Chain A
Amino acid sequence: MMNQDDRVEQFKTEISKMSVADPASGRDRVFAVLGAVLLLIGPLLTLVGFFTSHGTIDPLVQNDATITAIIGLTLTVAGGALFVRYSFAQFLRFWLARLSYESQAQTDRLIETLGGTTTAASPMSAAPTRAPAHAMADPISETPASET
């Protein structure tokens, strides 16, 4: 039986290899799939309306077919919007997070260059809940303990 330190290292390796579903992406995926389905149903409905109106001389039936076709067009547009919005949501989320992080890091570097301290002077890190960029990667920050 391996010793416990080796077991812990093996545990860490297994955890790092584990695939973990992002809960946020679940909702996005549902809406993207819904959008794709509407993109298929919408044009079909439009075609049904078209052929129905061509297959009759009754103006009432033709009106109904026209309305069916308009509904189909609406569903197509809505489905397209949903699909585009939610298929790009994950990418946009990461892009925004990265942009925010880089912006803050740049501000901190600027302040350091100008000679102030990062935590005291930076307007970005002046908010009580914001941590300085250099501490973001450290899961156990010494700062809260030293402040108490």
Chain B
Amino acid sequence: MTDIAPMPAPMLSADNRRATDRGPLIELRNVHAGYDGINVLHGVELSVAAGQVLAVLGPNGAGKSTMLRLIAGLHPILSGDLTVAGRRVNGASPEDLARAGLCLIPEGRGIFPNLTVHENLWMMTYGARGARLRQIESSAFDHFPKLADRRSQIAGTLSGGEQQMLALARGLVTNPAVLLLDELSMGLAPLVVEQLYAMVAQVASDGITIVIVEQFASIVLGIASRAAVMSGGRIVAEGDPAAIEATLSKTYLGN
């Protein structure tokens, strides 16, 4: 796999600089992590400010999903610091982070395939009933009208795109402060991916902090306010999406 040439210095737009001035909401400092003694992340340094949309790109095996799981508290940190809202949270339980408002939509969607769309949404509402549940469902269906037609359908029988919409809707009904999206486009047709990312852009316009991990750069760079490239468990480039796109284009296509 070709190593991506590092940027000479992070090229931040004025918007990104303002976002950074607010202080990072999530920060990884020299983070190492691994599986069964094999290091996967080697000194990752990354920060995400409130309201930013950070796209993390890179090939298979770069450590992108591991990094997201680590932020969500699902993977232990061997060394280094994970700071959320200014507080070191190494060892924090994933349920505590989720309750606080940090929501991970994992690779493979994480929906309950044997439950209906309605039941999948209900599971994310901490037992809401009656009018509150209807309000939450209505909010989800406003974002994803297609799901309203499938309300009583078993989630496992939905198409790939609809399952991904359900996964996103489940995340949004928890009213997250931070959304971590892992490989939204996996296994989906390009048209469906475009529609999904249009919805993500709409969610991002509401000001939710989003970290998106993707293999396919072009579509996610269109909605990101900042981008980073991972390779071999390290951040090898970081900065403005347009600059990252130019770097990737030059490295892979020789443009």
Contact = CB atoms under 8 A, between A and B. Distances in A.
B51 A11 contact: no
A8 B209 CA distance: 9
A23 B99 CA distance: 21
A8 B1 CA distance: 39
A15 B178 CA distance: 12
Nearest to B139: A1
Nearest to B101: A11
A20 B85 CA distance: 14
A67 to B, nearest CB: 41
A16 interface: yes
A19 B51 CA distance: 25
A106 interface: no
Contacts of B20: 140
A16 B90 contact: no
Contact of B92 (A4, A20, A139): A20
B207 A4 contact: yes
Contacts of B139: 1
B23 A140 contact: yes
Contact of A7 (B88, B99, B177): B177
Contact of A10 (B9, B25, B101): B101
B92 A18 contact: yes
A57 interface: no
Contacts of B235: none
| Most B C-beta atoms less than 10 A away, residue of A14, A15, A148 | A15
B108 interface: no
A98 interface: no
Contacts, number: 68
Contacts of B87: 15-16, 18, 20
Contacts of A5: 207
B36 interface: no
Nearest to B100: A14
Given A20-B90, A139-B86, A140-B24, A11 B100 contact: yes
A7 B90 contact: no
B27 A139 contact: yes
Contacts of A148: 9
Contacts of A12: 85-86
Contact of B101 (A14, A19, A20): A14
Interface string A7-48: 110111011101111110000000000000000000000000
Interface of B: 9, 20, 23-25, 27, 47, 50-51, 83-92, 96-97, 99-102, 139, 175, 177-178, 206-209
What are the 7 A-B residue pairs with the smallest beta carbon separation, nearest first?
A: A4-B207, A11-B177, A14-B100, A12-B85, A15-B85, A11-B101, A20-B92
7 contacts: A4-B206, A10-B101, A11-B177, A11-B178, A12-B85, A14-B100, A20-B89
Interface of A: 1, 3-5, 7-8, 10-12, 14-16, 18-23, 139-140, 148
